[in-house]
Every structure is written in structure tokens, then in C-alpha cells.
Amino acid sequence: MTVTVEKSEKVVEVTVIYNGMIFRAEEKAAEMIEALDKCVDSLIRQIRKNKTRVEKQLRSGAFDNFIVEESVSEEIDFDVVRTKNVDLKPQSVEEAILQMNLLDHQFYMFRDSENDTISVVYKRNDGGYGVITPRNG
């Protein structure tokens, strides 16, 4: 859990890793406890929406006693509307960020010229950039 202060708002970020599954929520509010409550609600919605798939990853019936006050329709099928093939030329992280910005995208996949791995750069909500790299390969 990370808590930061941005001007008059408190930002709470919660990441839970359990049995290889990653659950993440980030919320802003005037008070820290309010932002934390929103994070918990967001995590519950995520789990509820993907209950069937998450249960398959964990164990059958893992959420049978899971009580949620609001109704959330479970997403049964993911509707992939487009598949795109890309050529990955070796680039530095800085070149990949430049290319992402030139394309006006929120993320960009590339082959890192330093270690020859497939990586992703992305724009963060706080205005910075992030890089996702594989741990094993």
C-alpha cells in the first residue's frame, strides 16, 4: 500500500499479490480513509466482475461467501475487437517513450536494446512514465 499527498488530495494505491494474481486499485480523496475505502470498493468490483476467471486461478468456490452491497455484472467473455501485429525493433527506453508520444498512445511495446527483452512503456496518471519488463526472459 502506498499513500501520497498531491496538493489537497490523498492518493492511496493498493496492490495485492495472491497465488500469482495481481489486484490493484488507486483512488484519490480529501481524506486518506476515504481514499482507502474507495480502493477496497474498487478491488471488490474487480474481483466480482471477473469472479469466474479469478476462481479458476485460485480455487473453486473461493468467493462463495463474498458479500458485495452493489450489483456488478460479471464479465463472462472478453470481446477482443482488434488484433494488431507489430515489428519490434531494438530501442532504448527513451526512444520507445518518444515513439509512444509521437503516436499519441498510452503505452508502447518494444524490444529493449540494452537487454533484448520485450518491454512496455506507459504513461502514468501522475504524468510520469513507467516501464514494464519481464522477470524471466
Please give the angle made by the CA atoms of 35, 40 and 44, to the nearest 5 degrees.
145
Q: How many domains does the chain have?
A: 2
The domain spanning residue 62 has which CATH number? 3.30.160
Same domain, 55 and 32: yes
CA 38 to chain centre: 16
The domain spanning residue 119 has which CATH number? 3.30.505.50
Three cell numbers, residue 27: 483512488
Confirm if 134 and 112 have CB atoms less than 8 A apart. no
List, for residues 19-67, the tens digit of each pLDDT value: 666 788 889 999 999 999 999 998 888 877 777 666 666 665 555 555 5
- Domain holding 37, by residue range, is 1-77
Furthest-apart CA atoms within the chain: distance in Å:
49
What percent of the chain is modeled with pLDDT above 90? Answer: 36
List, for residues 78-125, the tens digit of each pLDDT value: 788 888 888 888 999 999 999 888 888 899 999 999 999 999 999 988
At 22 the pLDDT is 75
